Amino acid sequence: MNCSLCERVNLTAEGKYPFLIHEFPHSYLMLGEHQFFRGYCVLVSKSHHKEMTDMPSKVQAEMFQEMMKVSAVLQKHFQPAKMNMCSLGNVVPHVHWHFFPRYSNDPQFKDPPWLRMNEFEKAKVTQEEVRELIEILRPYF
Ligand SMILES: [Zn+2]
């Protein structure tokens, strides 16, 4: 199977993906490769499922708790005006959740974060930012 998130999960398990923040029982929390919205992270299921409803119900419930922990930590640290969480998977159909902290100074605060996706590339993180943000976030878990 050719799935870019399975590949990323495997790299992470081998310690070769430098964006890992935290390993949960069912998922990996990864720093977003861009920080257009500061604090952007992605939570990726360790196992390949197209839909969350394809997971055993116990795993669904436990992964939901993992999502809640991520949201709570990002709120605590970044103090956003609102957390945006989205799971789409139209591009990569492997369960993952995007966590976008949204701030009150965002001129398009009421719009979905994806409307700015053409600008994400401009906010690609540097290795220094990766180290800094991971160091800040890890102790919360
Ligand atoms: Zn996959």
Q: Using alpha carbons only, what angle is made at residue 91 by residues 61 and 97, rounded to the nearest 5 degrees?
A: 30
Ligand 1 centroid–CA 108 distance in Å is 32
> Given its phi and psi angles, is residue 125 left (phi above 0), alpha (psi -120 to 50 degrees) or beta?
beta
* Blockwise average pLDDT, block size 10, the chain, 141 residues: 94 96 98 96 98 97 98 98 96 97 94 93 95 97 96
Token readout for 55 is 């997971």
The pLDDT of residue 1 is 67
The pLDDT of residue 22 is 98
Ligand 1 centroid–CA 15 distance in Å is 18
Ligand 1 centroid–CA 1 distance in Å is 8
Ligand 1 centroid–CA 79 distance in Å is 32
Ligand 1 centroid–CA 94 distance in Å is 5
Strand order in the sheet with 96-102: 20-23, 27-31, 41-45, 96-102, 82-86
The pLDDT of residue 71 is 98
pTM as predicted: 0.96
Ligand 1 centroid–CA 54 distance in Å is 13
Ligand 1 centroid–CA 55 distance in Å is 13
Token readout for 107 is 């001129």
Ligand 1 centroid–CA 75 distance in Å is 28
